[in-house]
Structure 1
Amino acid sequence: MFVTVLFGDSKMEMFNLNCKLINFIHNLKERCGLDFKECVDLMDSSGRVMNLEAKQHSVDAASSLLVERQYYVLLQVCRDDDTGDRKYVSLLNNFSQSHPELTELLWKLSNPDKEQDRKISSLRRGRTQRSSPAHQTRSKNLSGRNKNHPVQ
């Protein structure tokens, strides 16, 4: 039972899942050249983050969290000291080119407030466009045309 972790300049390492999560995470940091104090996580191919940070001291089997033969992208977890928000940074250098479909998901995970703002502003834009004077004029013209030119 193993998983493949992508990181760096298109590097990949295979990791055994037949171990405790605490050992898996320690080995992950060691083999990927990271400081042991850094917080890391993994993202699967569907964009789901595994939340290793919360389980970094767990003695559960790594196979209880990770799916065998799956590919994962290594992420660094940064915390904002003021807000406590998490920001995820891909440690796969060519992430946006090699996994464009996951780039937006990673951005959304790292910017949940901005994503909410984007949704709200797009809703507002939609309402503004529907109630714009041009839209109202077109509606009047169309309704006027229907009265003048009935369908036979």
Structure 2
Amino acid sequence: MFITLLHGENKAHIFNIHCQVQLLLDGIKKHCGYTEEGEIELADESGQVKNLLQNCHRCAAELLTERETYILLSAARGTRSSEIVFTPLLKDDNIINPKFLAKLANCQDPKTHSARVKSRRTHKKATVDITAAEGLQNPSSHGSRARTPIASPKQSRTF
């Protein structure tokens, strides 16, 4: 599971997203040479911010789509404490266009910002249905006992 991260002047790095978000962000800072004190964030190519900073203790694979391309952003506190200003750290006019910047500015507006993140994984309980014929035990190695059926969850426990 990996993503491609675009930053700087046409630079790209590949990162493994099968880790905690905070570890991913620290690795990105280190490998991309981000030395400033502020935080970083990621956005997809359309300008949608991924809100990794709000989910530092979750698995990055739950928030990011594997094999996708993301843009590195700096995240700084605005004039209000609840306001975060995102600045793209990529110098590419084909990607950082007015449409991208407009969507990025829309994500910065606290009124339209949603902190909810949906997981891509579904949690289903595994069920196994063993029929009476499949549930027969093999004879014991200690003698020739008759086979005894094992009751499936759907069958009654009395024989």
Q: 1:89 matched to which residue of 2?
A: 87
> In proportion to residue count, which structure has more helix?
1
Equivalent residue in structure 2 for 1:64, among 59, 62, 85: 62
Q: TM-score, normalised to structure 1's length?
A: 0.63
How far off is 1:99 after superposition? 3.7
- Opposite residue 106 of structure 1, the aligned amino acid is L
Structure 2 unaligned residues grouped into runs of 5+: 111-159
Q: Cα 1:36–1:23, aligned 2, differ >3 Å: closer, same or farther?
A: farther
Q: What SS does the corresponding residue of 1:98 show, helix, strand or coil?
A: coil
Contact 2:49 2:104 in 1 (8 A): no
> Aligned partners of 2:81, 2:62: CA distance in 1, in Å?
31
**Matched residues, number:** 110
Name the SS of the counterpart of 2:66 in structure 1.
coil
Question: Which amino acid in the other structure matches residue 109 of structure 1?
Answer: C
CA distance in structure 2 between the partners assigned to 1:82 and 1:70 by the alignment: 33
CA RMSD of aligned residues (A): 2.3
Other-structure match for 1:4? 4
How far the C-alpha of 1:26 sits from its partner, in A, is 0.9
97-106 or 7-16: bigger deviation: 97-106
**Shift >6 Å, 4+ stretches:** none
**Shift of residue 7, structure 1, vs aligned partner:** 0.5
> Secondary structure of the equivalent of 1:68?
coil
Q: Secondary structure at the match of 2:5?
A: strand
Q: How does 1:1-152 map to 2 (within 5 A)?
A: 1-35=1-35, 37-56=37-56, 58=57, 60-94=58-92, 96-100=93-97, 101-110=99-108, 112=109
Q: How far 1:86 moved relative to its partner? A: 1.1
After superposition, the Cα gap between the structure-2 partners of 1:46 and 1:63, relative to the gap in structure 1 and judged at 3 Å, is same
TM-score using structure 2 length = 0.61
Q: Residue type matched to 1:68 in 2? A: E
CA contact (8 A) 2:45 2:95 kept: no
Contact 1:29 1:36 in 2 (8 A): no
Determine the C-alpha separation between the residues in 2 that align with 1:82 and 1:20.
29
SS class of match (1:9):
coil
Aligned 8 A contact 1:4 1:12 in 2? yes
Measure the CA separation in 2 of the matches of 1:11 and 1:73: 11
CA distance 1:10–1:53, shift in 2 (3 Å): same
**How many percent of aligned residue pairs carry the same amino acid?**
28
